[in-house]
Amino acid sequence: MSDTDRTFAGSIPAIYDHYLGPLIFEPYATDLADRPAQISLGRMLETAAGTGIVTRALARTLSGGVDITATDLNQPMLDFAAAQTADQRVTWRQADALHLPFDDGSFDVVLCQFGAMFFPDRVAAYAEARRVLKPTGKFIFSVWDRIEENDFAAIVTQTKATLFPANPPLFLARTPHGYHNISQIRDDTAAAGFVDVAVETVQRRSQAASPRQPAVGFCQGTP
């Protein structure tokens, strides 16, 4: 990605959270947060936390004995996220998922929602997750399926293609929805040293109040 693609600044974090959060993130955040819910004590690391949609779900779901460290590469996103919750268990920290500033074996769980597709080196990012995990720790992450299975992104991409037929913008299909091959995901996690890898397909549907909601979210809530 270019530097512009990484710059979620100004009004973007709030628009992203308000318009896209309920439509394409929150239903899956609830599912993801439920997966480590049995942990009663320990430390959890979230990478690519964005505006804290999963972080807030984790704070609601997890026992009070679990501390959450939420990280993201983009400081404006973290600033917005930190302003949305006063939970003292959550620590916010800017960090690159490929170069985590934590000691080996520091966490019981590493969790990431819809971030792996953007990692420039996924195997390196997975290896970093494994490094900071305790020997019995778990790495839980989600990625989008192919764009044809995701109505909002598909319609946005199709519409843009009618407006720019000579050079249709294909970023959504190429990047956010470009890492869905299960064999590739298994190979990458195995290359990072993980064993006993389980892959599950989860389907959640949401409905926009009007066409304007996803239009504003995608056009003004992303770089």
Identity of residue 109: V
Number of structural domains the chain divides into:
1
For residue 23, the one-letter residue type is L
Q: How many CA atoms lie within 13 A of 35 on its CB side?
A: 19
Domain span holding position 110: 3-143+179-220
Structure tokens at 69: 């460290």
Residue 168, in any domain of the structure? no
Residue 172 lies in a domain: no
Domain membership of residue 125 (yes or no) is yes
Q: Looking at the predicted structure, is the pLDDT value of residue 213 above 90?
A: yes
The CATH number of residue 72's host domain is 3.40.50.150
φ, ψ dihedrals at 190, nearest 5°: -65, -40
In a domain, 167, yes or no: no
DSSP codes joined into one string, 36-76: TTT--SEEEEESS-TTTHHHHHHHHHS-TTEEEEEEES-HH
Looking at the domain assignment, is residue 155 inside a domain?
no
What was the pLDDT predicted at 37?
A: 87
DSSP class of residue 20 equals: I
Q: Considering the domain boundaries, does residue 89 fall inside one? A: yes
Residue 39's contacts (CB-CB under 8 Å, 6 or more residues apart) are 62, 63, 66, 108, 109
pLDDT, tens digit, for every residue of 132-183?
999 999 999 999 999 999 999 999 999 999 999 999 999 999 999 999 999 9
In a domain, 50, yes or no: yes
Question: What average pLDDT does this structure show over 106-120?
Answer: 97
Average pLDDT, the chain: 94
pTM exceeds 0.75: yes
Q: Is residue 161 part of a domain?
A: no
Residue 70 vs residues 50, 167, 218: alpha-carbon distances, Å: 9, 38, 24
